[in-house]
Amino acid sequence: MKKSMILLLVLVGGLVAAPFGFSFWAESRLNGLLDDLNESGVVNFTVIKLDRGWFSTESIIEAEMGASLSQKMKKLSTADGETPVLILKNTIHHGPFPFIKGHFSPVPVVATMDTHFLKSISSDEPLVNMDYSMLTHLGLGGNSRVKVDIPEWDGPIESGKANMQWKGLQADLNLSKGLDAADITINAPYLNIKGETGSMLLESLTVDSMSTVGIEGLSLGSAQFKIAKIVIEDKKTGVDFSINDIGIDSETTATGDSINSVTQFNLATFTMSGEKFGPGVFSLAFRNLDAGAIARISNKYKEVSSQGNVPPEQMNMMLGATLLSEMSNLLQKGPEIEMSEISLGSSSGKLMGNARLTVDNSRPELLTNPMLIKDAIIGEVDLEIPEELLVAMNMAALRQEFKSVNIQYTEDQLQSMAKSRVSKRFAPLVAGNIFTKAGNMYKFSASFKNGVPTVNGKPFQIPLGGGMAPGK
């Protein structure tokens, strides 16, 4: 009996003491996760304050945009020129079995972190008055899982000038130790903003992504991005369009020491200013890219971007020099770029095209001399567009132009002007053999081989004046 009582006391004591012991492990894991995130250079996280308790720890983290992202978003800078920051207030509930109101799991973890965003370090005032949830589970094996749940919201925005209806958002991020692998899912069912000057509707946005760090530290994996509907109307500019069933599927893989990437874009219908198009397909593939060269170019970009206030011209020169130095390495494996399908359907006909660019690596002497590289490049492009489709596109553009300046017109007048615009724009292109016309079809066919470009069956020369013209 006494032994049982002692064993029970030891067990209870262990359960009571465990959370405080886990607090040190949780702090170490949090610092490691932030270090991994900081290495990306996109956002820099800094722990400003840490108050450790027995069952939980309070921390304040400052999140600041990295140099590369900050340069791209200079317009978001504050009045004094500083980059805006986010303040994260975290309650870290210690493991092995942390309990948070409304959230409890029997699966043991190092800690579960409950995060909220504040307006400033000196205040507990929330950045947004919304009862959202952001929980980060720090797993025992070094993995992390972030779950975000933003609830529905309906109300006025922009001082009452517009109204927003939001059906919430759920995100689930599973991150391995060291961020070597990441599985991400995002679901946003509905967003509708209506105002005096226009409106925007977005239905059923979903993201599914799986990635791992592979050869040369490059990210490999697949991603799917889907939106059921987008509708945008801007009364000031006359912009008025909708897109149904957008899908983007991409996959990046490694074969030996080469990288291959395929992306396909699909849409069911696209309506612009009263003209309906679709379905549309665009497929792009990169094959046989040297992994080492790609990694060195990527690392150089990160290095240059992290330097902060580097003028764009200087940044382009530095990146251009790296690209030039890696050019022969990129070409050694005979890389290919292929657009296997470019198509856009409509009741007025179908745009169709394809393109392919390859490098002949059977003659390595051409790949090491910048002046001879062009002789190793082989390319083909074919494109055909019905005249009726061009007219429909121009009718949509004219509708937008006239709407923005409040000009009245009839459909017959609009069609006549659209036909005239197509005829005037394509007449010189046909005369110059850039396009040929067979019946109602405009066609473009070009190739490049042994350093000689050919357009529509004729050699294409670049005159000394700088313009391009077909050879005689």
Write out pLDDT tens, residues 69-105: 555 555 444 444 556 788 999 999 998 888 776 666 6
User: Mean pLDDT in the chain?
Assistant: 87
Give pLDDT, residue 301.
84
Reported as half-sphere exposure (CB side, CA atoms, 13 A), residue 383 has a value of 14
**Residue 19 pLDDT > 80, yes or no?**
no
- Delimit the domains of the chain by residue range: 214-472
* Residue 149: per-residue pLDDT: 95
> What CA–CA distance (Å, rounded) separates 190 from 172?
18
Measured N-to-C along each axis, helices 411-431 and 387-404 cross at an angle, to the nearest 10 degrees, of: 120
CB atoms within 10 A of CB 310: 16
Tell whether the model's pLDDT for residue 341 goes beyond 50: yes
Within 10 A of 178 (CB to CB), how many other CB atoms are there? Answer: 14
Distance CA 91, CA 133 (A): 12
Which of 48, 1, 51, 2 has the alpha carbon at shortest distance from 23? 51
How far, in Å, CA of 466 to CA of 458, rounded?
Answer: 19
C-alpha span between 113 and 57 (Å, rounded): 9
Token couple for 453: 């470009």
pLDDT at 358: 96
Which token pair is 274? 């009263």
- Tokens representing 161 are 């000038």
At residue 67, the pLDDT reads 60
pTM of this structure: 0.86
Does residue 9 carry a pLDDT above 50? no
In whole angstroms, what is the distance from residue 18 CA to residue 28 CA?
Answer: 16
Q: How far is CA 178 from the centre of its chain?
A: 22
Question: Which is more confidently placed, 30 or 100?
Answer: 30
Instruction: Burial-class residue 72 by CB neighbours within 10 Å (0-12, 13-18, 19+).
Output: exposed
- Dist. CA 140–CA 26, nearest whole Å: 10
